[in-house]
Structure 1
């Protein structure tokens, strides 16, 4: 430890740096102002026919009912987490420990509330914009206008994400200064925890409805997607919003918050005061480029499709970010390490007395940030290659439909596995490239990885807009098809937008995975930094002399990832295993809930024969109720696994095993997330390609084969795959928070019985949750209160939205 950093609370901000942080907060408010202005513009667009409005109202009602119930469930976790955060010890706070604990708990609530606001407000606007996109497609120039409404609605969510994320981080730095990184651990944990639950719950809801609707409607009844005769259509459209809008928006917000947490923790150690400010300057520039990126996204008549316009705007905004960040680094950072860090900079950065660094601070920061920006662009191109309808992987999957569903499934799995390798190589190259910038300083190398993460964050406003664009386009097509109030030209426009939306959703999942890896790697560095601080305090209390403190800390931490230690090898295997178990639980949850939807939709076709000739209206609300109930019930087990598994490993096997656990989870999680996301996206667009007329078109055996592939891919790409992102960050943050307590429990004065009791208790909670999940039958009741699963009969009734569709048409 050196200079003021040994006691974070003593590090203050000078007048000029306070000004920079205030400017960051003001620009965050500007982003929120743009969000409000765009909201007004979107809501001013035409709302279409009465039938369209009635269907959209049913979707709004179902989505709101689900989200309210979900927030009530998650409120319990928030209260428990606040108490536990206050009880956990804090290292490096000095006399401010109590105030830091209070701040960490308070900003945990702020992070959770911000995540809920972004998810809820984004979903609320999306459920209104989808109607307006459908209406715009009916007008002259509908292609360009519908595209603009859909993307600018996504822009609102993007502005809210970057605005609230930057506002929260800047506020913490202004209030807590040197202790800001510790307080921000709470802010990031609140955002990550809520995002994970929203991602898992929303993913289960949306894919249970989607799978059930496809299996009975398309495959068994031979009716089109989003046909109003299918009782699961309203639930399917509701699910697009609670999963892809609310869930993904919260997911990307927590990526934003968590990356800033890691950057500030490492920045304070590496750069001192400037390390608390520069990581805020970078996303501040990102806010401005997000505004530019959203407003320049315009579909030209010469553009082949909407993806051309979106890619053009993304790459332009990424280039502007790179140029602006370079200018900011040259203007703000000093060009000499001694001038920036102090005369003892080699000691601070843990270099030998004769070691030098390959780059000056300005070049170091510029290249690190640009690596993150370039990484986002490369991931966008790579994911697009594996999921766009015009590219060979999707074309090949579509061609295999001629030989049946088995070959479609095999081809999709092959694409997913192959794409995971290339994505992992690209992400790994980005991480390693940033790491090399630090020369021989581990602290500086990890800070470079964190800065690469902030560089990627400069694109996040446009990325969120791209992601939200997908479900809005999907819903717009559904509303138009269910109402029947659309001509062939308008239907073609919405089909094209939906196909583009499938690709943008896949791309944003790829970028979200990259942010997860960068954030997790940087958090891993933060974990080791916090660990060293906690060990210094413990060894000092145990009487280690000051001149021997550094050597003892080095000895304790040098074998953190030494897999020759059986405890570390076990930790590595457990980390990878948790990713597989988490994915399996999420997919199995969709399977069980979709089974209930299938049973209910079949029952309605059987008992309400007038559905097929439009003389009877399906009971849409019953399917919404099934999906709502099951999503809330099923999300608890994956959530408990993410929180309790690191606690069991850390207190049971120690800090080295916990570090290995995180390494195993990051490695397996990266590959698994890309595989699931890209295979699902490729299957989806292969289905779209056949529906557009290839290989026999709709209703052909080839179409049926691709529908089955898409049905398998639904929980891959929209439930398990995206949920791995917040899983990695939740586990890293839990480890970061409990590291000081683990160090204390392994001290010579600790009581082993307490440590073992904590580990066993956490393990029993995980085992009990998994057992409770697995004992439920695969086919649950159909929502009639019969209670085939032992837990559904007493569920609380949900609002049943009514949609006046083409009854009697």
Structure 2
């Protein structure tokens, strides 16, 4: 933070940052003219076109064959369980959304229309996030059946891959369509006031995505861990054996966690990055800075269509190679088109910008060149992370093969090797992200322009989001297709091998998209520092105070305390998420054991397991565990901001971003390496299925499940929720700290209440058992069943 607030401007303590003070006042003077409305209109048309293309792909997916009657029955059970879970989750979150709506309306804003717009578009952001999550679940639970059926037809490999990838294409097009549509509508209605209204839109998207990611992640991994520990390890039966009562819940979890949760996560990444770019763009480039961040992702819509349609595996070619090739081609097209758009739309000098101050007009440099390079940096970042994450998580590369080989000496070495892969990969990925952020930051010697360049790098990365979402959804759809095939017992031979290959590829594509989502989170969170600074500066000016750069230097003890607290919150959030999976998985383990003991006919196939009981357990526990991580994300910045001040809150955000990026990458890549090392052994390496090596990798995969699919991905929305909360409360913190409205007692009171709620939630959470051991009543049920 000392670099951010010192190098780009050389402010002395007591001086106001010249290019940031007055940004909010200046932005309200920006008005759209006829050509500007035309630009926004074209962007809206492209957004609607993305939604229309998604509907065309939907019809194509649903037109595919649905297999046998037994396969359809299994798929129907998964559909019902997933719908029931999300419906209950949305009812729970609706109450929370209404409460946040009222709080947002109560927070200060420059005008009443801003306050109303911010609150209303908070609901829009939350609703869009929910719609995308639900669509991801709804279509995936229907596509998995069709992928399984396609594998049994002529040209099965190509057909199955096409159905799975185009299912992801539907979710991807809907994600970029709704994200772009929401942002464009705000700009169309509010013009210069749009950045403040967009804070609410981004907050709604991020908050709901975090809840869906945490809840869905707990559900899916509780079922997965429980199914593996009892089915594979204790009874030595296949992963998706229909005799395992947790199999339906496991397949349901793939959809509510990986499809619904990740779709909502990537949508909020898209929305929040756009929000950051639009907020900072008005400060750096004026009117052009408000509109250019809409043009870049609009180009991404066009390239996403190309990327989805050209994805096809050639004869003898790996499905992963085909998917990566489509990604590279679409990224390359995006780079060329964005470069053309920057040159044509943006002026060659700052003097040619509209709606900026004289100080901005006097800045040296070319807005077109800065934007062009920044966008290219973002696109290249996505490409590098794809290669880097693929190296650490794909079965054909050394890290996963090393983890697989370590299974020859037992589960302990599998876990140790997987941990080392995760730690090492986190360093390289974080350094790559850091290089991209610093490269964009160096494009200008002016802070506001440098921060906007970082946001534009995020927009460049957004041009690949349509294909990224398709890659991510491909994973759980393929996983579920293999599950349906195995449970039905009606897909064998080459068809089964096709689904196994697609499942392994899906594990890698999921890991890749997690890496790119983390990069987006860091870019968006770093860019939001600029809007946080803007909010503080505007509030100080309004209170007749000056910006004190010395309050933000990292060596100030109070700021350093904020850094430590921010890092600690990431650790606490991660621990809460993993513990939640542990508790829920414990309940699943005891239920599956109870059913095996009470109904001996399950093992010989004469008795059907009670699948619904496990689904109910996962639903109940995941919804119950949502509250504590959610309260921590929202209230921790409030406690730090009101309790310690705006400087320590900046340190808090810096600590959270740095630690969160490393933690999320470590969790995602170690989990992905463990998962694919299991696939490697199941393909016949090191003894194959049923061997001691297989059992060791199953245990490693079980440890990695909550890493890669619960805690790791949930850190992404966590970072953006905390940043947006900080931006929203900054004016109130300043108002209660300085000026005529200062009220230290009220400020400290708010901090104490927020802290008390966090402590209470954590204490209540810790009162529940943290070990995978059932209650005495559960143990008694198992014992009685056995007798």
User: Normalising TM by the smaller chain, what interval?
Assistant: over 0.9
Match of 1:348 among 348, 357, 360: 360
* Match status 1:584 vs 2:589: no
Q: 2: CA distance between counterparts of 1:562 and 1:396?
A: 44
Offset, 1:81:
0.5
Give the distance between the partners of 1:711 and 1:59, measured in 2 at CA: 22
> Map of 1:396-407 to 2, 5 A cutoff?
396-407=402-413
Aligned match of 1:698 = 689
Determine if the alignment matches structure 1 residue 366 to structure 2 residue 372.
yes
In the alignment, what sits opposite 1:679? 670
Number of residue pairs matched by the alignment:
760
Q: Aligned in 2, Cα 1:331/1:742: closer, same or farther, shift over 3 Å?
A: same
Instruction: Quickly say closer, same or farther: Cα 1:600–1:82, change in 2 above 3 A.
Output: same
Aligned mate of 1:498, from 495, 500, 503: 503
For residue 348 of structure 1, report the CA deviation from its aligned partner: 3.0
Instruction: Give yes or no for the alignment of 1:240 onto 2:254.
Output: yes
Q: 2:148–2:499: 8 Å Cα contact kept in structure 1?
A: yes
* Structure-1 residue corresponding to 2:350: 337
Deviations 1:519-546 (A, max 9, x none): 000011111111111111111xxxx6xx
Once residues 4 and 717 of structure 1 are traced to their aligned partners in structure 2, the CA distance between those partners, rounded to angstroms, is: 40
Question: Counterpart of 1:334 in 2: which secondary structure?
Answer: coil
Give the Cα separation in 2 of the matches to 1:17 and 1:61: 47
Per the alignment, do residues 25 and 48 of structure 1 end up closer, same or farther by CA in structure 2, a change over 3 Å counting?
same
Assess if the C-alpha contact under 8 Å between 2:128 and 2:205 holds in 1: yes
Instruction: Name the stretch that deviates more: 332-341 or 677-686.
Output: 332-341
Structure 1 residues 4 and 307 mapped into 2: Cα distance closer, same or farther (>3 Å)?
A: closer
Cα distance, 1:514–1:143 mapped onto 2, change above 3 Å: same
Give the alignment partner of residue 726 of structure 1, picking from 710, 717, 738: 717
Q: Distance in 2 between matches of 1:783 and 1:616?
A: 27
Q: Aligned to 1:10, what secondary structure does the other structure show? A: coil
Q: Retained in 2: the 8 A contact 1:209–1:239?
A: yes
- 5 Å-filtered alignment, 1:37-76, equals 37-76=56-95
Aligned mates of 2:693, 2:429 — CA distance in 1: 30
- Residue 406 (structure 1) shift: 0.3
Q: Secondary structure at the match of 2:268?
A: helix
Contact 2:24 2:534 (C-alpha < 8 Å) held by counterparts? no
CA 561–747 in structure 1, closer or farther in 2 if over 3 Å, else same: closer
C-alpha distance in structure 2 between counterparts of 1:524 and 1:2, whole Å: 15
Gaps of at least 5 residues in structure 1 are 545-551, 789-809
> Contact between 2:23 and 2:283, CA under 8 Å: does it hold in 1?
no
Aligned-residue offset at 1:50: 0.3
1:486 partner SS? coil
* SS class of match (1:612): helix
Deviation at 1:764, TM superposition (A): 0.3
Aligned pairs for 1:395-794 (under 5 A) are 395-438=401-444, 440-539=445-544, 552-553=546-547, 556=548, 558-749=549-740, 750-778=742-770
Judge conservation of contact 2:118–2:201 (CA < 8 Å) in 1. yes
Distance 1:748 1:431 in 2: 36
For the 8 Å contact 1:600–1:783, the answer to whether it is kept is no
Residues 101 and 183 in structure 1, CA contact (< 8 A), matched pair in contact too: yes
Residue by residue over 1:322-357, the C-alpha shift from the partner in whole angstroms, topping out at 9 and shown as x without a partner, is: 000011111111112111257955x238xxx7xx63
8 Å contact 2:389–2:511 — kept in the other structure?
A: yes
Q: 1:77-118 CA distances to partner (integer Å, 9 max, x unpaired)?
A: 10011000011012xx3xxx1111100000000000000000
Assess, with a 3 A threshold, how the Cα gap between structure 1 residues 756 and 399 changes in structure 2: closer, same or farther. Answer: same
- The secondary structure found in structure 2 opposite 1:559 is helix
Tell whether the 8 Å contact from 1:623 to 1:783 is kept in structure 2 after alignment. Answer: no
Contact 1:270 1:341 in 2 (8 A): no
Deviation, structure 1 residue 9: 2.5
Deviation at 1:229, TM superposition (A): 0.4
**Which residue, out of 178, 189, 194, partners 2:203?**
189
Helix, strand or coil: the match of 2:239? coil
- In the aligned structure 1, how far is the partner of 2:282 from the partner of 2:433? 25
Task: Please list every run of 5 or more consecutive structure 2 residues that lacks an aligned counterpart in the other structure.
Answer: 1-19, 780-787
* Alignment partners' CA distance in 2, 1:153 and 1:681: 22
Question: Post-superposition shift, 1:564?
Answer: 2.9
* Alignment partners' CA distance in 1, 2:178 and 2:303: 16
**Structure 2: distance between partners of 1:5 and 1:370:** 29
Pair 1:306 & 2:302 matched: no
**Alignment partner of 1:79 is 2:134:** no
Alpha-carbon displacement from aligned partner over 1:307-331 (angstroms, at most 9, x marks no partner): 0110000000000000000111111
SS at match of 1:335: coil
Offset, 1:563? 2.8
Assess if the C-alpha contact under 8 Å between 1:473 and 1:498 holds in 2.
Answer: yes
Show the counterpart of 1:179: 193
Whether contact under 8 Å (1:262, 1:519) holds in the other structure is yes
Give the aligned CA root-mean-square deviation in angstroms.
1.6
**Distance (Å, rounded) in 1 between the aligned partners of 2:137 and 2:53:** 18
Distance 2:21 2:643 in 1: 32
- Is 1:293 matched with 2:307? yes
* Paired position in structure 1 for 2:336: 323
Q: Which residue pairs with 1:794 in the alignment? A: none
Q: How far did 1:362 drift?
A: 1.0
CA contact (8 A) 2:590 2:778 kept: no
For the pair 1:219 / 2:219, whether they are aligned, the reply is: no
| Dislocated runs of 4+, deviation >4 Å | 1-5, 341-345, 779-784
Shift of 1:360: 1.2
1:388 corresponds in structure 2 to: 394
Q: What is the CA–CA distance in structure 1 between the aligned matches of 2:332 and 2:598, rounded to whole Å?
A: 59
CA distance in 2, matches of 1:706, 1:787: 28
Q: Secondary structure at the match of 1:301?
A: coil
**Native 8 Å contact 1:397 1:683 kept in 2:** yes
Q: Distance in 1 between matches of 2:726 and 2:46?
A: 33
CA separation in 1, counterparts of 2:356 and 2:530?
A: 24
Q: State the distance in 2 between where 1:566 and 1:191 align.
A: 34
CA deviation profile, 1:544-584 (whole Å, cap 9, x unmatched)? 6xxxxxxx22xx2x124323322111111000000000000
Once the 2 structures are TM-superposed, how far is the Cα of residue 15 of structure 1 from its aligned partner? 1.2
- Asked if the contact 2:21/2:541 (under 8 Å) is kept, the reply is no
Which shifted more, 31-40 or 525-534?
525-534
CA distance in 1, matches of 2:591, 2:76: 23
- Cα deviation per residue 1:217-244 (whole Å; 9 max; x = unaligned)? 0000000110000000000000000000
- The 2-side partners of 1:783 and 1:30 are apart by 54
Q: Distance in 1 between matches of 2:650 and 2:573?
A: 19
Counterparts in 2 of 1:691 and 1:367: CA distance versus 1, 3 Å: same
- Give the 3 Å change call, closer, same or farther, for CA 4–466 of structure 1 in structure 2: closer
Q: C-alpha distance in 1, partners of 2:543/2:354?
A: 27
